[in-house]
Amino acid sequence: MNQMPPFRRPRAHISQFTISQLHLRNPWVISFFAFSYPGFGHLLLHRYAAAFILITWEAFINNMANVNLGILYSLLGDFETAKKALDEKWLMLYVGIYMFSIWDSYRVTVDHNKLYLLADREDAPIPSLNIGSWDINSLGRCKPWIALAWSFLMPGLGHLYIHKILTGFFVFGYTITVLYFGHIPQAIQFTMVGEFAQAKQIINMQWAMYLPSIYVFIVYDSYVSAVEYNKLFEKELSNYLRRNYQNPNFKPPI
């Protein structure tokens, strides 16, 4: 016979590869990241399956419809070239998923905030350690500025520092793909030696336009995650001491 768990709403789950937790988030901030790149809002919410599907779809449909080129030419004021660059056959498939990503990330954030308030009142014990055959993960203090610095150096490294392996591995691999197809390392090399014309000629702006969204996301997520993990560590320690430390008013038997 199945037994009901002693606690209905846990605040966090610790696995070998990441720590998923409920904490208060601003729905508009999550929606902004979903607006900047479909799937990033869900990645902030630890909804990895939905996030990977949306991010992969965005990469495919954006390149087929040349959405980034259309945005680039529009920002430059060249609207005629922007209209010619867009592929309307694929663009029609882009809009629906894009709007869903923004709406769903906002909706889920509101629901998660409600769940967090209920879970915080229930005050369930928080797991602090997970040892597996692939990795060892535990709650502990980390420095947010170090996560931010590693993220600036290379997307994904800040997430590996705070042990968000799933997000870090995906972001690292996706950034390498963007750099490769955008010919960005070669463009940087030509720029450093003063060959600006060759740098402009070799860079692929359809892929390079992804980088601003990626960098803003990884810097924000790594920093906020480090701060929230520190709070979770303090909550776990406080919860443990309250449940297990002897009451100071208890009189031991003589």
Quick one: pLDDT at residue 156?
86
Quick one: pLDDT at residue 32?
94
CA distance 165 to 229: 14
Quick one: pLDDT at residue 17?
87
Place of tokens 């972001």: 171
Q: Report pLDDT digits (tens) over 203-215.
A: 888 888 888 888 8
Quick one: pLDDT at residue 1?
45
Cβ–Cβ < 8 Å for 167, 159:
yes
- Coil, strand, or helix at residue 195? coil
Count of Cβ atoms closer than 10 Å to residue 147 Cβ:
27
- Give every residue of the chain whose pLDDT is below 70, as ranges: 1-6, 246-248, 250, 252-254
